[in-house]
């Protein structure tokens, strides 16, 4: 019962603004419009218990978002981690002649000071390989974005930070919005781990 009450609230929070958590707000990027492509869609008349056989494990998906850097130094998104996939890579899609090709981004994604980077279909994105679960439309997964702060010469300064975000599972990008929710977190429930 508790799960049924919390999931709609979490999805509302994730769709209207992506929750970020960093140790201090002076070392934090602003993440907006984040989502991950569904591998399973659920029809309105379909039970949420039925889609588990729709996709064998080992599938692929991609996550998208806009990352804004409010810091005085450039930052680099060096890696992303999620329990939803065994392998997570930063990728870019480029046209090579008449062929669209996807390949890993070497060295991470750099976002200049007071600039932003759009990770979107057909461009930069987070590739999820060897999925460990179905990505069911209407649910959400968690991901850790690992950043490095760069010095004035563009080299790693040795300072890093990680932001944990929620990624709503959708079939298309969320509608643009101006609301951004920051520093949202939830305390784990004590007990035996059941939903009741």
DSSP 89-133: EEEEEEEETTEEEEEEPTT-EEE-TT-EEEE-TTSSEEEEEEESS
Say what the pLDDT of residue 188 is. Answer: 81
Residue 78 pLDDT exceeds 70: yes
- pLDDT tens for each residue of 26-35: 668 999 999 9
Average pLDDT on 13-38 reads 66
What sign has the CA pseudo-torsion 98, 131, 62, 75? Answer: negative
- pLDDT tens for each residue of 55-76: 455 699 999 999 999 999 999 9
Say what the pLDDT of residue 26 is. Answer: 64
Average pLDDT on 16-29 reads 52
Q: Across all residues in the chain, what is the average pLDDT?
A: 81
Average pLDDT on 95-100 reads 82
Instruction: Please give the residue that has the higher pLDDT: either 105 or 54.
Output: 105
């Amino acid at each position: 019962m508790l799960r049924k009450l919390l999931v709609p609230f979490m999805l509302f929070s994730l769709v209207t603004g992506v929750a970020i958590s960093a140790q201090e707000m002076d070392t934090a990027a602003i993440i907006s419009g984040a989502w991950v492509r569904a591998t399973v869609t659920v029809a309105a008349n379909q039970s949420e218990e039925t889609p588990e056989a729709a996709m064998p494990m080992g599938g692929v998906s991609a996550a998208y978002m806009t990352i804004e850097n409010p810091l005085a130094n450039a930052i680099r998104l060096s890696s992303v981690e999620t329990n939803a996939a065994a392998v997570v890579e930063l990728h870019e899609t480029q046209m090579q002649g008449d062929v669209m090709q996807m390949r890993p981004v070497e060295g991470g994604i750099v976002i200049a000071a007071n600039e932003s980077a759009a990770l979107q279909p057909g461009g930069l994105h987070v590739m999820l390989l060897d999925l460990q679960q179905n990505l069911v439309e209407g649910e959400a997964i968690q991901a850790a974005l690992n950043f490095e702060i760069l010095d004035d010469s563009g080299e790693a300064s040795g300072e890093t930070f990680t932001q944990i975000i929620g990624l709503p599972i959708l079939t298309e990008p969320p509608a643009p919005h101006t609301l951004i929710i920051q520093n949202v977190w939830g305390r784990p429930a004590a007990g035996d781990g059941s939903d009741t």
